[in-house]
Amino acid sequence: MTAGATRAAPGFPPPAGSCDCHVHFYGDAALHPASADAGLPPQVGSATDYQATMNRAGIERVVAVQSILYGFDNRCMIEGMRKIGAGARGIAVVSELTPVDELRSLERAGVRGARAYMLPGGVLDWTRIPPLARRVAEVGWHVQVQLDGGNLPARAALLASLACPVVVDHVGKYLDPVDPDHPAFQALLRLIDTGRVWVKLSAPYESSRTGPPRYEDIFPLATALVRHAPERLLWASNWPHPGHESKPEYRALLELLAAWVPVAETRRRILVDNPAALYGYPECASGRTTHDERTCRGEPTYPQAP
């Protein structure tokens, strides 16, 4: 442990500027009808509901992710971001054919990336991801990918070659949980080592077989990521936990993060500094300079694609 580092107590208060990097907003079905191909039943969880949750938890910033329920129709997400205000950013579902002017309009609303949901219910296939990355690179976005992490050895070369940075959801989302020395997890670590890939410490219940409160089969993967590259990690709740009848308490997920990341300074980096850099918040919390001034302004510090 570095000098002056402190360890978390249960119920630690999130530091100023903390960001929940993956939530979904849902609205009235009459105003926001589900996509015919969604494969997801109607969900409940408005931006107003989430705002109350984040206020109770002491979370100041949030990244809304377009739900597969709505396909390419990003209106519900954008409306929710407007309700949250300046602390909100978004990840939209767009295609390689979306006009750049439309991307810039979404960017003005706070969108900073494109979602690629590569599981049943998604709207894109793998052949469309490289041209999608080239299109969103024109406006400085990244591609956020959700896949079965067990397939990473077969997909890693494609992801590493994309023309923009990549964010991988949910601790890699190994639907068949693996050990840290498994080739599929090692493929994730090698992607991180490119300097252009980020991973979310989020939603362990999506792939865990052992279950709460510690998700023992996901725990070693999360802590291995923290040891390997804390500067490339983000935290998220996945609120309101779509598709799950048993929903974890928000505070319990923060306490799990404290168990994964016991050093307060490292936890602050994951909750505050990393999202500030990736999602382009105008300054770091309380005006603090973290890695350098470019990071606090939200300018990229990753190596640029050739």
What letter would DSSP give residue 210?
S
Helix (H, G, I), strand (E, B) or coil at 257: helix
Look at residue 39 in the predicted model and tell me its pLDDT. 65
* Angle between helices 47-57 and 250-260 in degrees, nearest 10: 50
Mean pLDDT by 10 residues, the chain (306 residues): 42 90 87 70 84 95 96 96 96 98 97 96 94 98 98 98 98 96 98 98 96 96 98 97 88 96 96 96 52 37 34
Look at residue 35 in the predicted model and tell me its pLDDT. 73
Q: Which amino acid is at 21?
A: C
Look at residue 21 in the predicted model and tell me its pLDDT. 98
- In sequence order, the β-bridge partners of residue 42 are none
Cite the DSSP H helix spans in the chain. 47-57, 75-84, 100-108, 129-137, 152-161, 183-192, 219-228, 250-260, 264-268, 274-279, 293-296
Phi, psi of 88 (to 5 degrees): -100, 140
Look at residue 11 in the predicted model and tell me its pLDDT. 61
Look at residue 16 in the predicted model and tell me its pLDDT. 95
Walk across the sheet containing 111-117 and list its strands. Answer: 19-23, 61-65, 88-92, 111-117, 142-146, 166-168, 197-201, 233-235
- In sequence order, the β-bridge partners of residue 62 are 20, 88
Look at residue 303 in the predicted model and tell me its pLDDT. 34
Q: How many CB atoms lie within 10 A of CB 194?
A: 16
> Are 264 and 8 within 8 A, CB to CB?
yes
Look at residue 38 in the predicted model and tell me its pLDDT. 64
Burial classification of residue 59, based on how many CB atoms lie within 10 Å of its CB (0-12 exposed, 13-18 middle, 19 or more buried): buried
Domains of the chain: 19-296 (3.20.20.140)
